Amino acid sequence: MKLFVTGACGFIGSHFVEHAIAAGHHIVGLRRGDRAEARPTATLLDGLGVQWVEGDVLQPETLHQALQDVDCVVHFAAAFREGGVDEDYFRRVNVQGTTNLLEAAESRGVKRFVLCSTAGIYGQRVPGLIDETRPVLPWNAYERSKVEAEDEVRRRARASGMEYVILGRRLFTGLATNVCSNCFEVRSVAAFRCSVPAKAVATWCMSRTLRTPSCGPASSRAQQITK
């Protein structure tokens, strides 16, 4: 399948792209110009056959053409820990940017949408097992914007019939290539939830039906979050 990936030059996004290409996907990556900090990763992904398009999630006119014949959008790009910016900045990038991408995907008839969010929306150091029925307790501008972005994905996807996944990224450190093998918690896959590795998410993108590889029964889907 043809996947459109934002944030492909980021740490998580680049690992996902490697898994996705290995799983047989064609990757179209969104780039905001030739930024020096992204150049080494972009060069590496060039060698894997990534097709780049210039654009920005805050410039919707750059997204429509880029999504031609795309089967699935995988949205990693986000404002995370930028300093010296106000809360509106996080809302513009993380909420309006997601909305722009959803609207472009709907207009192009994209079948699936994956949003990388954060497990931090449930609060800091939450004890015990939690799932998506627990009230959210975001404690900073980034997490509040992610709550809004998740709501927008659910609302628009359900209205349009688009299949969707929301990934709850956990806090992690390290540079080893296997760090991303277990850094996601899938909190929303339409009505399903489980923990899966990044490779399984890539596999799901090209599967014929809406299912999540490696999921256990419903009673085992809650995972302990230690953030």
- Among candidate residues 89, 122, 142, 164, the one labeled active-site is 142
CA 114 to CA 196: how far, in whole Å? 14
Token pair, residue 60, equals: 């919707």
Give the total residue count for the chain.
Answer: 227
Q: Which alpha helices (DSSP H) does the chain contain, by range? A: 11-22, 39-46, 87-90, 97-107, 141-160, 198-205
Amino acid at 176: A
CA 145 vs CA 6, 96, 130, 139, 168: distances in Å: 17, 10, 20, 11, 14
Q: Which two tokens stand for residue 6?
A: 């934002």
Residue 164 annotated among the catalytic residues of the structure: no
Tell me how far apart the alpha carbons of residues 164 and 156 are, in angstroms, rounded to a whole number: 10
Please name the amino acid found at residue 198. Answer: A
**Active site amino acids:** 142
